[in-house]
Amino acid sequence: GDGFSANIDNSAGSNYLFTNSFDQAAGSAYTVSMWFRSSNMSQPAQTGMFSSIGSNNWQLEIATDSDIGVRQSVNPGELNSDFLPANDTWTHYVFVTDGATSKLYVTEDGNTLTLRDTDSVTNFDLVDFRIGVNRAGNLTYDGDYASIAIYDTALTDDELNILLQAGPEAITLVPEPSTLALLGIGLAGLCLGGRRRRRR
């Protein structure tokens, strides 16, 4: 990384970060926000940046048509961006589900917030999850990861813009009306630190 990010390298096999701290059931509302860049965005199909390995597991991946998508274990359950960011470009990835609709945003740094796909499929849970690898734990997305945040609510576009404008260098906890940041990770040196927002 470059002082505020962590590089996850696939040269030695499957390297990734793992936690089993959360239990957001399928159909509940939450948001996953993260920044990522790679010198080689065109990695093997189903290579994962982020994955949840609960019973309704899913992953943010390089899809079979060579762009960024969300794949779910229960069909139908996919979101597709029809977009692959440029190499060596910090890009903001957001998955939002509110219990009725799921959305995928993929926005290169310096651009306006871009919704790439939306669907009524909501069978995505967030239980034990991994950063930097697919659900099977065998395909690491080689690149730099930064400013990963998880919220127990579906953030609005205005709130997502706050995270986008902050860029990859800092964790920014969005203001009310959002309720709780379940996780905020500044990945410098692979030191993990959680920040919690108290309900008022």
Instruction: For residue 183, give the H/E element and its range.
Output: strand 181-185
Instruction: For residue 166, give the H/E element and its range.
Output: helix 157-166
Could you tell me which residue, 120 or 189, shows the higher pLDDT?
120
Sheet containing 78-80, strands listed edge to edge, beginning at the edge strand earlier in sequence: 17-19, 129-131, 48-52, 58-62, 68-72, 78-80
What's the pLDDT tens digit per position in 75-87? 545 888 999 999 9
Which letter, b or e, does each residue of 82-110 get, where b requires 16 or more Cβ atoms within 10 Å of its Cβ?
ebbbeeeebbbbbbbbbeeebbbbbbeee
What's the pLDDT tens digit per position in 170-192? 666 555 444 455 555 544 333 33
Please, how many CA atoms are within 13 Å of residue 75, restricted to the half-sphere of its CB?
0
> In the prediction, which pLDDT does 113 show?
98
Give the integer Cα–Cα distance in Å for 81 and 136: 22
Residue 62: pLDDT over 60? yes
Pairing mode, strands 102-108 and 115-119: antiparallel
Where exactly are the structural domains of the chain?
Answer: 6-190
Residue 156 tokens, joined: 């609005």
Q: 116 and 2 in contact (C-beta within 8 Å)? A: no
Residue 200: pLDDT over 50? no
Give the integer Cα–Cα distance in Å for 181 and 46: 28
Burial status of residue 128 (CB atoms within 10 A of its CB: 0-12, 13-18, 19 or more): middle
Query: Concatenated DSSP letters for 64-126?
Result: TTSSEEEEESSSS-EEE-S--PPTT--EEEEEEE-SS-EEEEEEETTSPP-EEEEES-----B
The CATH classification of domain 6-190, taken from the options 2.60.120.200, 3.30.70.260, 3.30.420.40, 1.10.1200.10: 2.60.120.200
